[in-house]
Amino acid sequence: MLKTIPRMRIEAAKDVFELIGNTPLLQFRKLTTPFAPVEIYAKAEWYNPGGSVKDRPAREILLTAEREGRLHPGKVILDATSGNMGIAYAMLGAAQGYRVTLCIPANASPERLRILRAYGAELILTDPLEGTDGAILEARRRYEADPERYFYADQYNNPANWKAHYRTTGPEIWEQTEGRITHFVAGLGTSGTMMGVGRYLKERNPAIRLIGVQPDGPFHGLEGLKHMATAIQPGIYDPDLLDEILTVSTEEAYAMAQRLAREEGIFVGISAGAAMAAALKVAARLREGVVVTIFPDAGYKYLSESFWLEEDR
């Protein structure tokens, strides 16, 4: 049985900016039955208007830049992305009348590329073998070549990224669990989610354990996540904040995404599968506790992935 904790929503919103946040917290009982009485919850971030958790930092980055005068009419929003952050920029940029240029690995899922083009974003496809690091280097090159043209959002080094989660995601989790959370599990990409939520939760209760999730090697199929030991580490990433890092293989993430769809009726993306796999590993060693993780997006942007058709996983 799936339990949904009610959330508050704005009844009438003037634009997409006001629709971001206040996402549901979901509890899973079929997958976690072997670990009772441990409770596992996940934030359903696909409820954001752009379909992912990245709407939160994108909004914070753009609004902060506007307040500080770094983003104004005539500037082009520029950044590197694996997909979801780019979709958030493209959506919010369209709403505000900004052009958006995104550097993105050429092997990003076709669904993501089509969504980005639907919003009117200019796409610079980078070497898929270089992953998001290659996209980052290309974005830096373009900005350095023409700094007057671009507002370089720089999600990997922009403190507005983690502050968005400190101000919204963290407080939501605290309130939705009534302060009972004992463990927070989140994938590491830009690391903004973990840095922001983690700082907020540690302030409320230093005993809460923070567990980061990363791929088990540099070559992987977990879009949006980084193998920190071999990748360009984001400037906002502070490994000392974490209590632990767990690794998840691409195959584990695929299998868990399938299980969530077929056993819980929750259709999520690959990084959500990785997050749930890690959350179950944490739960397996507890006698009691409240484990919360993040489901960054739904599975619709990954339908072209062949694993959805493989029945033997």
Angle separating helix axes 84-96 and 55-67, nearest 10 degrees: 40
Residue for token pair 């930092």: 57
As a whole number of angstroms, the distance between CA 166 and CA 138 comes to: 29
Which helix H or strand E contains 224, and what residues bound it?
none
Active-site annotation holder among 43, 54, 226, 301 = 54
DSSP structural state of residue 104: E
Instruction: Note if 54 is an active site residue.
Output: yes
As a whole number of angstroms, the distance between CA 196 and CA 168 comes to: 9
**Residue 293 contacts residue 40 (beta carbons within 8 Å):** yes
As a whole number of angstroms, the distance between CA 298 and CA 287 comes to: 30
Active-site annotation holder among 52, 82, 191, 271 = 271
Instruction: Note if 281 is an active site residue.
Output: no
| Per-residue CA distances from 219 to 10, 128, 131, 222, 299 (Å) | 42, 11, 9, 9, 21
As a whole number of angstroms, the distance between CA 236 and CA 234 comes to: 5
How do 99-105 and 76-80 pair as beta strands?
Answer: parallel
226-234's contacts with Cβ under 8 Å and 24+ in sequence apart are 226/132, 226/188, 226/189, 226/191, 228/188, 231/131, 231/132, 231/133, 232/133, 232/136, 232/156, 234/156, 234/157, 234/190, 234/191, 234/192
Q: Is the peptide bond before 159 cis (omega within 30 degrees of 0)?
A: no
Angle at the Cα of 187 from the Cα atoms of 278 and 173, rounded to 5 degrees: 90
The residues annotated with a catalytic role in the active site are: 54, 271
